Amino acid sequence: MSYQVLARKWRPKQFDELVGQEHVVKALTHALDSGRVHHAYLFTGTRGVGKTTIARIFAKSLNCERGMSAHPCGECAICKAVDAGRFVDLIEIDAASNTGVDDVREVIENAQYAPAQGRYKVYLVDEVHMLSKSAFNALLKTLEEPPDHVKFLLATTDPQKLPVTVLSRCLKFGLKRLLPEQIAGQMRMILGQESVGFDDGAIEALARGADGSLRDGLSLLDQAIAHGGGALRTDDVRAMLGTIADNDVGALLRALADSDGKALMDEADRVAGLSPDFAVVLEQLATALHRIQLRQLVPGFAGDEAEREVLDVLAVEVDPEDVQVWYQFALQGRRDLSLAPDVRSGFEMTLLRMLAFRGGGSGAAGEERQMPARERAPTVRAEVVVSKPPAPPPVMRHSHGVAGAPAPPAPPKAPAPRIEGLADWEAWIQRAGLGGPVGLLAQHAMPKSFEGHVLTLALKPEHMIFCSDALCKQLQDKLGEAIDRSLRVRIVHEAVAETPATRAAKARSDEQAAAERALADDPFVQDMQRQFGAQIIPESIRPAGRQA
């Protein structure tokens, strides 16, 4: 007997075998059990989530010889014919290859005839959005006034391309992308039935690689079984998918968090030795950053990842704004890999870009931190308290006066800030409350001129990565709101001697140096060094208030 691929062998034959589409199953079950079945249904969703499978089960439920219900027997001649794909009253049309009006006209002409074997004649039109405009117009008449014995089941991955006139005549059901844990659970069940051994790590990697599609996941599962010689091992699956281990992702992020360029490139070199798909590695980095940000900004969030402890530590040490910037760099780096001289250099440049823009420009300050050799002597880690000036009070805005009383005169517009020096520009940034990526754009820029309502900012070419249309618009709006007037921001490429970012980097460098000197001069530390040969690890020293 010939081998049958898992996606076909394990295709659900009953509604209760479906995974992850409970909302659709519930609605169709009620319709079938109550006998209130609409004449046209539209199933939407990405590939491999069950659109045509649900349509076939629905057709079987309508025509089962034991009566119409949500639980077809699966044993009668009609049920077996539907499962085998040879039920004459289930007409499946691939709209991707039958787009013309002549194909639809043939359907319309045959629809008037009674079903040959079943209770209903069911038309299943897959990728219905591919029909031509004239074909839609021809189909519309039948959708408006269908014969009682005809049901239309339409499936599409792109419902936006359907005419409104067609959409309005269908009951629409949106199928969800499956979660990795749902796909993993189905894979474990299938492998148990197939008596195939597996590692949990292999299943988790395949479930993530399926990208929400159970069919794609089972195709990958078939491929992985063949790749592993009949068993699923984590290393084999990662090699097949081009992914790297979770601890490798954690090591890259650890080097970034430590601002350690050498360690970062060492890790990148080790990852390259695994011959991964660098686009997938950047996707893994983005996923890890997403999990880190959830820990930082969502109270009570607790993930269940394999590298949970590493992500918990990074969530404490890395500034949330850095996480946002790194995430954007990972996504952009993934898109730009095809433009790089080679994919490895594109991957490495993405990592170096993350390093260069750490904390608003610490990489640009040119600080070099070499990690000393760690011998068996005890180490000293400490924090040095550094006081910071309090933040300025927020600007208060007052509402209108009592109803019936004359409105108070509008307050005068805030005067345009002076921008004769760096401090003036920094004050304006602070007043506008700029943070995140738009804050980085402002921090790396320096006003060149401010004439009328046009503010011209100078920005080094290497910082133009921040200069997207959306960020420039956000910068313009926030700066204008801060002075209560309309403003147009113009950005030019030009070398800038000093910016808020470079000043902040220098301040951090000075603050770090002061903290290291204070620790080195501490009598207790000196005593530990003399008696036990203890070493101070400079990169472990953080002034109070600074996370990493």
Tell whether the model's pLDDT for residue 305 goes beyond 60: yes
**Both structure tokens of 540:** 């472990």
**What are the start and end residues of each CATH 1.10.8.60 domain in the chain?**
180-241
User: Looking at domain 6-174, which CATH architecture does it have?
Assistant: 3-Layer(aba) Sandwich (3.40)
For residues 88 and 115, what is the distance between their CA atoms, to the nearest angstrom? 8
**What are the start and end residues of each CATH 3.30.300.150 domain in the chain?**
422-502
The reported pLDDT for the residue numbered 398 is 39
The reported pLDDT for the residue numbered 400 is 42
Q: What is the DSSP string of 222-289?
A: HHHHHHTTSSB-HHHHHHHHT---HHHHHHHHHHHHTT-HHHHHHHHHHHHTT---HHHHHHHHHHHH
Q: What is the CATH number of domain 422-502?
A: 3.30.300.150
**Chain CA centroid to CA 414, Å:** 41
Out of 3.40.50.2300, 3.20.10.10, 3.40.309.10, 1.20.272.10, the CATH code matching 246-356 is 1.20.272.10
**What are the start and end residues of each CATH 3.40.50.300 domain in the chain?**
6-174
The reported pLDDT for the residue numbered 545 is 59
The reported pLDDT for the residue numbered 502 is 86
How distant, in Å, are the alpha carbons of 25, 69, 139, 257 from that of 54? 8, 14, 22, 47
SS3 content of the chain, % helix, strand, coil (to 5): 50, 10, 40
Q: Which fold has domain 180-241?
A: Helicase, Ruva Protein; domain 3 (1.10.8)
- For the stretch 337-391, pLDDT in tens is 999 999 999 999 999 999 987 754 433 333 333 333 333 333 333 333 333 334 4
The reported pLDDT for the residue numbered 268 is 94
For residues 381 and 542, what is the distance between their CA atoms, to the nearest angstrom? 9
Length of the chain in residues, anyone? 548
Give the helix/strand (H/E) hosting 529: helix 523-532
CA dihedral 252, 257, 259, 260 (to 10 degrees): -40
**Both structure tokens of 52:** 């045509």
Categorize the per-residue pLDDT at 313 as very low, low, confident or very high, splitting at 50, 70 and 90: confident
**What are the start and end residues of each CATH 1.20.272.10 domain in the chain?**
246-356
Categorize the per-residue pLDDT at 218 as very low, low, confident or very high, splitting at 50, 70 and 90: very high
What rounded mean pLDDT belongs to the chain?
A: 83
Residue found by looking up tokens 């209108």 in the block: 400
**Both structure tokens of 18:** 């479906």
